[in-house]
Chains A and B, each alone.
Chain A
Amino acid sequence: MKMRKRILSVLLTTAMLGTCVMGCSSGSDDSGEKSESGKRFEGVTLRFAPNWGTDPDHEIGRKMLKEFCDETGLNIELEEIAGDEMKNKISVDAAADNLPDVWQYWPGCVCKDLADAGLLADCSEYLEKSEVIAKDHFSDTVLAPCTFDGELLVLPRMGASGVLMINTEIFKKYELEAPKTWDDLMEVSKVLRENGVTPLNVGSKLGNPSHFFYNELVCQFEEGVQDVNNLLDSSKTTFKTDAMEYAANKIEEMVKAGCFADDVLGSTGDWAPSCAYYDEGYAAMCYTFSWQFASFSDETLEKSEIIKIPQIAETDRADNHMQGTTNDCWCISKKAWEDTEKQEAITALVDFLMWDYTKETAQGGYIITVDSELDKLIDYEALDSKLMSDVLQWRTDNNIEADPMIWQSLPNLAIQTDYCNALDELWAGTITGAEFIEKCETSVKDNL
């Protein structure tokens, strides 16, 4: 009996250890030999974290990525994260020394800590190896937020364009003209407000989409553009400038005049709610960005007209500028890049992302490519998204230049978050323009 028990325990222990060893070993074939199928990356596994949610272009991404993997034999461990939560994921992964091999992120200050800690691969090395992407595909402006201390550490993924639209039906109903100046905007808002219509759909939930709108006002001055560019240099970072203060006071004035929804956080805070608000006819004007274009109904778009940002009286710039810049980027982990077994596969994956996937989504009208070579291949008259087509055409017709972005140019995440929180308060009317500037300036002092 005892003997049996011993044999049984030895067998069970062996089985358990065997299972552990099998469980701990990697599922990939590390022999380095090509499999019988002869696929290029058979047995190679990469961790890839895109910022994907439920948008149609993300669905295209999933489908194309599967086809790419089937074709190359590459095994992708997909770690999808939607929206700003990506920042949390990457920060936790970096702390645990467990960064994905390739991920989608935001350039500028969001990447700065990673760049400072040497966790990002030098993308010039990727560009040297790439078969389809080269540095001269991108303008200096596009590469600026991707460059840290002179090194290109992330790759620009897409551009973005702001747009201001009016609901012509509502304007016609109240016999209003599209506003050309800020004074017009305030007049129009007054009439709309009196008739129970919210003038503008811009709300604020952790600075979305308000930070872009505030930025539009700051950049109505040449000095304002310089102020935003100065933010990149931490020795010059300040909110105490004439343009910043002017813009903050103007927003305070707009809040008091009822230019925004009453419930700026609940009704129009964040991208999707603010667009839905306009789409449902609650607001007469809509300010949004290109990643939201697919969310509008055809019915709404038919009665919408694109207009320029109304000019403030004191402006010293022409009216051909608007927010639009390198919005997000692809990052490659330095650790993964230095792994020679992975380097080829990473190059192929990034090539696929930056060429094939970008081309497909740009042609679909979901994104704006910042790759000048790819841009030549896009048939802008045949985009799937009519609004994207119209906006791009409008930008070309009006020779619209892209303004720099405060959010992206701030030196670190702490200041960026405080800036966004202060915008929420400014929009909610709980602080004045002067207090907004003071809050942001305090954050700069505390976090630099």
Chain B
Amino acid sequence: MRVAKKKRWIPFVVFVVPALLVYTYFIIYSIGNTGYYSLTQWNAISEPKYVGMKYYMDFLKDKDFHMVLRNSLLNVVISLIVQVPAGLIGGYLLYRTRRFYKLYRFLIFIPVVLSASAVALLFTLIFHAEFGPVNALLDWAGLSHLTHSWLSDVKVVFYVVMIPMTYQYIGLYVIIQLSGMQSISEDVIESATIDGASSFRIFWNVVVPMQKGVTMMCSVLIISGCFKAFEHSYIMTWGGPGYSSSFLGVYMYMETFVKGNYGKGSAIAMIILVGTLACTMAVQRIFREEE
């Protein structure tokens, strides 16, 4: 009996323990370590010096941090408003398309597989004030008063940096939504059609409610993506001018690797973690309440 019990433990030890150890070391231990370093002043070279909650308290009065946090939260809000509906609508249009379905799907998904650096560079050229096509197009259309120094004007640079991010990731949510829609039983759609429901009615009254789980997952992905957003902002503007187009990810990178302030960088990392968890939980709650 005891031997049989022991044997039952063997697969657990062989298959679960190594993965658990790896996960504990690389995730749990790393988070704990980051939490510890966030309470220290450390340049990664000398010994860390304990400073308690100093960095967290400093954030309360740090204007740069306020700007970066505002940018990140605004990024979450705008992305949720734009990308979730766009994913749903795009996915539904693809779902209902019969001709050239594969071509459309390919075209929509292609930006997702492009390197973020390439996309950011491409958009840097598109928004180039002197020879970028955006200003040229505005000039050509007689809207010269709308031309801008897109990457230097602090009033618009944040939104300009958001454009390639949206362009690159929207395809991902379209495809996720499409996969969800493809699992909806065809009988449901057929019944609605026979009952005389229009395409819009089917979308609104059948597809959207049935896609709630998928939509929630997309929202969670968007939130976590926005909090740790880095590549587009860093490549297009290095988060500047100043920190006007920085997100928390860029701010963390600048503090940690450029300034060599690993303690403060760790504190920002903890804020990213807590912020992402809090927003994710809030979104889950909203969806559950609706259910």
Contact = CB atoms under 8 A, between A and B. Distances in A.
Interface stretch (A114-122, A223-231, A288-296, A352-360): A114-122
A157 interface: no
B257 A265 contact: no
Interface in A391-424: 412-414, 417-418, 421-422, 424
A88 B257 contact: yes
A95 B154 CA distance: 35
B150 A205 contact: no
Given A113-B45, A113-B46, A265-B237, A425 B242 contact: yes
Contacts of A428: 152-154, 240-242
A431 B258 CA distance: 22
Given A266-B129, A266-B151, A266-B152, A417 B238 contact: no
A386 interface: no
A68 interface: no
A113 B130 CA distance: 41
Contact of B44 (A92, A116, A424): A92
A428 B243 CA distance: 12
Nearest to A443: B259
Nearest to B264: A414
A29 B7 CA distance: 47
B287 to A, nearest CB: 39
B128 A266 contact: yes
B241 A417 contact: no
A337 interface: no
A282 B130 contact: yes
A13 interface: no
A262 interface: yes
B230 interface: no
B254 interface: yes
B284 interface: no
Contacts of B240: 205-206, 265, 421, 424-425, 428
A446 B43 CA distance: 15
B213 interface: no
Contacts of A263: 128-130, 149-152
B127 interface: yes
B242 A266 contact: no
B152 A417 contact: no
B48 to A, nearest CB: 11
A218 interface: no
Interface string B234-256: 00011011111000000000100
Contacts of B260: 87, 91, 113, 412-414
Contacts of B127: 266
A94 B45 contact: yes
Given A91-B44, A117-B46, A428-B241, A413 B258 contact: yes
Interface string A67-103: 0000000000000000010011001101100000000
Nearest to B132: A266
A430 B128 contact: no
B261 interface: yes
Contacts of B238: 205-206
B259 A413 contact: yes
A263 B128 CA distance: 8
A414 B260 CA distance: 7
Contact of A265 (B44, B45, B151, B258): B151
A74 to B, nearest CB: 28
Contacts of B152: 262-266, 269, 427-428
A119 B45 contact: yes
A181 interface: no
Given A263-B128, A263-B129, A266-B151, A421 B242 contact: yes
A91 B257 contact: yes
A204 interface: yes
A22 to B, nearest CB: 23
Nearest to A265: B152
A206 B44 CA distance: 23
A42 B45 CA distance: 33
A267 interface: yes
Nearest to B149: A263
Contact of B129 (A92, A262, A414, A418): A262
Nearest to A99: B45
Nearest to B254: A417
Contacts of A424: 240-242
Interface string B121-144: 000100111100000000000000
B262 interface: yes
A243 interface: no
Contact of A421 (B130, B243, B261): B243
B256 to A, nearest CB: 8
Contacts of B259: 413-414, 417-418
A244 interface: no
B262 A95 contact: yes
A95 B44 contact: yes
A262 B254 CA distance: 26
Contacts of B254: 417
Given A205-B238, A282-B130, A417-B254, A266 B149 contact: yes
Contacts of B153: 428
B46 A265 contact: no
A286 interface: no
Interface in B199-249: 237-238, 240-244
B129 A117 contact: no
Given A263-B128, A424-B242, A92 B45 contact: no
Contact of A87 (B154, B257, B262): B257
Contacts of A206: 238, 240
B45 A88 contact: no
Contacts of A113: 43, 45-46, 260
B130 A430 contact: no
Given A88-B258, A206-B240, A266 B44 contact: no
Contacts of A425: 154, 240-242, 244
Contacts of B130: 261, 263, 267, 277, 282
Given A113-B260, A265-B151, A95 B128 contact: no
A116 B43 CA distance: 11
9 contacts: A91-B260, A114-B45, A205-B238, A205-B240, A282-B130, A421-B242, A425-B244, A427-B152, A428-B241
Given A205-B240, A428-B152, 18 more contacts: A87-B258, A91-B257, A94-B44, A94-B45, A95-B262, A206-B238, A261-B130, A265-B240, A266-B149, A266-B237, A267-B128, A277-B130, A414-B259, A421-B243, A424-B242, A425-B154, A428-B154, A428-B240
Q: Which 8 A-B pairs have the closest CB atoms?
A: A266-B151, A263-B129, A95-B44, A263-B149, A428-B241, A88-B257, A425-B242, A414-B259
